[in-house]
């Protein structure tokens, strides 16, 4: 997701963790053998499922369609047009967001119930899973350390998913106002996620979590979350942006693979639980026209963010000229002071999809599907259940 700068100080941390791709593959395979029958990580707290039962999507993976890699994405409430989405290309789709009120009740005032229903019906027709995403970390941090408020929120979340016939809950707990881990936050997150997963698994639903791009902020994710989640969406983007010193790709293959190593090697997460997070947006640098150049500002778009649909249209019109490199793609405008936009194009998505499959990951995740181009230009083309890979 498009995020502020705290997570992006991860690059210095990541650079200290130098392993080869072979190391990742070997470590991931070894870790997959340590997955407990209930989907937990050996040496950590296990899932609270009853013996012999699996959550709705199957143990560990939560797959929306049997034996196929996960293609997970989101619909945010501020772009909640779900009428024309290509549901056949997705296995999991989460509506973003709900969050706790100060009294522990569920705030769902941002949810367009018609859009949520359309999303659920579309995913179910396609054989996939429809989820609701819990967010707003400041609201979670203010309430979830309290056992009574936590119990109330978990109970109301279960009622919400049952009422709206959803298949599970995704949790996006991201703090950007902390320079160092807050033990109360971490403990509250772990207790909340454990209780939420226990409640969901009792009803054969799944729980998923969105985790940071690497270790600097990854220490904020407690072991309980890694152990109990059916899927962990690694947000392998926003490594660079307006907070950086020079223009650079915000989701390069190098940075993304290093981010995965933190989770599979340092935190010993089974690769089979992880999705490879891919942005459906680009980040721009005004006053620069190539990687490594100093820049003046975030360019011509608000916050420096271009949707992939906007980038594709600008390339087709000639406004931007694209260049593909081994580590990522960028597009340049030489009008005025110049601007360079870094993004993942079709070849980058194909490369990341192949990496996920070849290295035993659960699949891929996109933030977020309403930013995609349509038709033959779609980034979903060529990956997923009905893809042309």
Mean pLDDT for 309-320 is: 97
CA-to-CA distance for 294 and 24, rounded, in angstroms?
Answer: 33
CA-to-CA distance for 359 and 338, rounded, in angstroms?
Answer: 39
At residue 281, does pLDDT exceed 80?
yes
Mean pLDDT for 56-61 is: 38
With beta carbons less than 8 A apart as the criterion, state whether 88 and 386 touch. yes
Please report the DSSP string for 139-151 in residue order: HHHHHTTSHHHHH
Query: Whose CA is closest to 262, among 241, 236, 231?
Result: 236
Residue 389 exposed, middle or buried by CB count within 10 Å (0-12, 13-18, 19+): exposed
Mean pLDDT for 372-377 is: 92
Q: Which helix (DSSP H) or strand (DSSP E) does residue 100 occupy? A: strand 92-100
Q: Before 97, cis peptide (omega within 30)?
A: yes
At residue 99, does pLDDT exceed 90?
yes
The first and second tokens of residue 98, run together, are: 């709900």
Higher pLDDT, 367 or 11: 367
Torsion of CA 41, 45, 46, 50, to 10 degrees: 180
Other Cβ atoms less than 10 A from the Cβ of 179: the count is 7
Most confident among 33-37, 61-65, 206-210, 298-302 (mean pLDDT): 206-210
The first and second tokens of residue 249, run together, are: 């790709």
Higher pLDDT, 113 or 24: 113
The first and second tokens of residue 261, run together, are: 């190593």
* Three-state secondary structure readout of 237-304: CCCCCCCCCCCCCCCCHHHHHHHHHHHHHHCCCCHHHEEEEEECEEEEEECCCCCCCCCCECCCCHHH
- Which residues, other chains included, contact 46 with Cβ-Cβ below 8 Å and sequence gap of 6+? 36, 38, 40, 227, 228
With beta carbons less than 8 A apart as the criterion, state whether 119 and 75 touch. yes
Higher pLDDT, 93 or 60: 93
CATH 3.40.50.300 applies to domain 5-51+58-280+345-377: no
- Which residues, other chains included, contact 177 with Cβ-Cβ below 8 Å and sequence gap of 6+? 6, 138
Looking at domain 282-343, its CATH architecture is: Roll (3.10)
Mean pLDDT for 174-188 is: 73
At residue 173, does pLDDT exceed 80?
yes
With beta carbons less than 8 A apart as the criterion, state whether 300 and 315 touch. no
Higher pLDDT, 2 or 116: 116
The first and second tokens of residue 332, run together, are: 């340049």
CA angle 295, 299, 300 (to 5 degrees): 160
Query: Whose CA is closest to 207, among 225, 223, 220?
Result: 225
b/e sequence 212-229, b meaning 16+ C-beta within 10 Å: bbbbbbbebbbbbbbbbb
With beta carbons less than 8 A apart as the criterion, state whether 91 and 68 touch. yes
pLDDT at 46: 28
Q: Residue 59: pLDDT band by 50, 70, 90 thresholds?
A: very low
Most confident among 2-6, 178-182, 184-188, 378-382 (mean pLDDT): 378-382
CA-to-CA distance for 120 and 134, rounded, in angstroms?
Answer: 17
CA-to-CA distance for 171 and 159, rounded, in angstroms?
Answer: 16
| 144 HSE (CA, 13 A, CB side) | 28
Where are the chain's structural domains? 5-51+58-280+345-377, 282-343
Specify the pTM: 0.84
Please provide the average confidence, as pLDDT, over all residues in the chain.
84
pLDDT at 3: 42
Higher pLDDT, 62 or 243: 243
Lowest mean pLDDT across 15-19, 142-146, 250-254, 275-279: 15-19
Mean pLDDT for 58-72 is: 63
């Amino acid at each position: 997701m498009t995020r502020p700068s705290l997570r992006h100080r991860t690059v210095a941390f990541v650079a200290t963790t130098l392993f080869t791709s072979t190391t990742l593959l070997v470590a991931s395979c070894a870790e997959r053998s340590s997955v407990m029958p209930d989907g937990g990580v050996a040496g950590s707290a296990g899932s609270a499922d009853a013996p012999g039962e699996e959550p709705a999507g199957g143990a560990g993976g939560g797959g929306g369609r049997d034996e196929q890699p996960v293609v997970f994405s989101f619909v945010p409430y501020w772009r909640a047009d779900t009428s024309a989405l290509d549901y056949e290309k997705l296995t999991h789709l989460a509506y973003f967001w709900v969050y706790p009120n100060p009294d522990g009740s569920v705030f769902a005032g941002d949810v367009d119930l018609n859009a949520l229903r359309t999303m659920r019906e579309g995913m179910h027709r396609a054989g996939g899973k429809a989820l609701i995403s819990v967010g707003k970390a400041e609201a979670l941090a203010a309430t979830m350390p309290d056992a009574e408020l936590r119990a109330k929120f978990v109970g109301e979340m279960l009622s919400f998913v049952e009422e709206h016939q959803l298949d599970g809950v995704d949790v996006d707990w991201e703090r950007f106002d902390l320079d160092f881990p807050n033990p109360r936050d971490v403990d509250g997150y772990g207790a909340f996620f454990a209780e939420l997963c226990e409640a969901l698994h009792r009803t054969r639903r799944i729980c998923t979590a969105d985790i940071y791009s690497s270790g600097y902020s990854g220490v904020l994710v407690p072991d309980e979350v890694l152990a109990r989640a059916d899927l962990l969406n690694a947000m392998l983007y926003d490594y660079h942006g307006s907070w950086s010193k020079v223009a650079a790709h915000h989701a390069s293959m190098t940075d993304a693979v290093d981010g995965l190593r933190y989770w599979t090697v340092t935190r010993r997460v089974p690769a089979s639980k992880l999705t490879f997070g891919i942005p459906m947006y680009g980040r721009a640098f005004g006053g620069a026209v190539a990687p490594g150049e100093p820049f003046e500002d975030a360019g011509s778009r608000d916050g420096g963010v271009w949707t992939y649909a906007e980038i594709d249209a600008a390339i087709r019109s000639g406004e931007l000229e694209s260049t593909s490199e081994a580590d990522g793609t960028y597009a340049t405008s030489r009008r005025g002071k110049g601007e360079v936009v870094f993004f993942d194009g079709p070849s980058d998505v194909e490369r990341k999809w192949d990496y996920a499959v070849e290295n035993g990951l659960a699949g891929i995740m996109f933030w977020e599907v309403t930013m995609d181009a349509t038709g033959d230009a779609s980034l979903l083309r060529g990956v997923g259940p009905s893809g042309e890979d």
